[in-house]
């Protein structure tokens, strides 16, 4: 996506001359637009690059990257890039207290954190004191230039609502400038257990058509007051798929049987 590439190029230009061996405390040039520019506006001071131990950085639970999907395979592109060229885009972290295992939590850059930890090298980061609301604004600024699945986005928004960053879905939709329908669709997908989504091929491989189908099913289960039961049964399908090495197609067959219990019209249309 051109927007994502321009954001990456801008961040890379900001770090020109700093290099992989940048010393802590190096001030960055004035950032302009994008996530670094927004952060600079929030803090009211120049951004300073630091090097931190990625193993002492936890992941902010309200950020947008689905951590269960991160491993050496899915992050291999970034591991290779950082290993060869160094880290060209800084992460954004904030200090934490009361956690013996962490000094910071990453607001933006959890894949970079994973890659640096995998490579055994420091994480280049900008440390900033941020409220949850400001941190959420930053993640939306960054995510606008990246590809995130509908499921991944829905999980993030769902946690925001659970933590009461926004009082209602309407307030969140207005802040995000998305339609109520799009918000509802993604929040419905977020109700699906990850084990089931993984058995369908992964969150980033759900087609729009299947996503709509699943969202309708979730809406029906919620309307019947059976969402907890259905979530448990979907998780069972996901676990069975993993144990039996089912294909995504076989998992979909098992799902269709459950779907027909709640949406009999679906079975009738398939039999015609």
pTM of the entire predicted model: 0.73
Comparing 1-10, 40-49, 231-240, the range with the smallest average pLDDT is: 1-10
pLDDT tier for residue 39 given thresholds of 50, 70 and 90:
confident
* Averaged pLDDT of the chain: 84
Please list, in sequence order, all residues whose beta carbon lies within 8 angstroms of the beta carbon of residue 221, skipping any fewer than 6 positions away: 227, 229, 230, 262
Whose tokens are 């959420």? That residue is 136
C-alpha dihedral, 251 to 253 to 259 to 263, nearest 10°: 160
Contact 195, 239 (CB under 8 A): yes
The per-residue pLDDT for 33 is 56
The more confident residue out of 34 and 189 is 189
Read off the pLDDT of each residue in 210-235 and give the average, rounded to a whole number: 96
Q: The tokens of 199 are what?
A: 């058995």
Distances (CA, A) of 14 to 10, 24, 48: 6, 16, 11
pLDDT tier for residue 148 given thresholds of 50, 70 and 90:
confident
pLDDT at 213 over 60: yes
pLDDT digits (tens, 9 = 90+) for 97-132: 999 999 999 999 999 999 999 999 999 999 999 999
Instruction: Express as a percent the part of the chain with pLDDT over 70.
Output: 83
Rounded Cα distance between 211 and 185, Å, is 8
For the chain, report the end-to-end CA distance as a whole number of angstroms.
Answer: 41
Contact 262, 217 (CB under 8 A): yes
Contact 150, 114 (CB under 8 A): no
List domains and CATH numbers for the chain. 2-138 (3.90.1530.10), 148-265 (1.10.10.2830)
pLDDT at 150 over 50: yes
Instruction: Kindly report the length of the chain.
Output: 272
Contact 35, 92 (CB under 8 A): yes
pLDDT digits (tens, 9 = 90+) for 52-93: 999 999 999 888 787 888 889 989 999 999 999 999 999 999
Rounded Cα distance between 233 and 221, Å, is 12
The per-residue pLDDT for 40 is 86
pLDDT at 11 over 60: no
């Amino acid at each position: 996506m051109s927007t994502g590439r321009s954001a990456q190029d801008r961040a890379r230009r900001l770090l020109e001359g700093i290099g992989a061996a940048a010393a802590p405390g190096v001030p960055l040039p004035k950032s302009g637009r994008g996530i670094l520019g927004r952060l600079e506006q929030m803090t009211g001071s120049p951004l300073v690059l630091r090097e931190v131990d990625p193993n002492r950085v936890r992941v902010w639970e309200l950020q947008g990257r689905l951590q269960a999907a991160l491993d050496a395979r899915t992050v291999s592109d970034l591991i290779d890039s950082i290993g060869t060229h160094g880290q060209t885009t800084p992460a954004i972290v904030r200090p934490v207290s009361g956690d013996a295992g962490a000094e910071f939590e990453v607001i933006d850059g959890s894949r970079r954190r994973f890659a640096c930890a995998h490579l055994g090298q420091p994480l280049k980061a900008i440390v900033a004191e941020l409220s949850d609301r400001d941190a959420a604004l930053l993640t939306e600024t960054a995510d606008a230039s990246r590809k995130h699945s509908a499921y991944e986005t829905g999980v993030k928004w769902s946690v925001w609502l659970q933590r009461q960053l926004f009082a209602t879905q309407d307030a969140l939709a207005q802040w995000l400038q998305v339609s109520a329908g799009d918000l509802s669709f993604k929040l419905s997908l977020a109700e699906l257990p990850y084990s089931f989504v993984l058995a369908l091929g992964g969150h980033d491989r759900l087609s729009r058509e299947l996503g709509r189908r699943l969202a309708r099913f979730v809406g029906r289960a919620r309307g019947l007051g059976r969402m907890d039961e259905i979530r448990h049964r979907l998780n069972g399908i996901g676990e069975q798929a993993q144990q039996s090495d089912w294909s995504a197609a076989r998992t979909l067959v098992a799902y269709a049987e459950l779907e027909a219990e709640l949406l009999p019209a679906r079975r009738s249309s398939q039999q015609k």
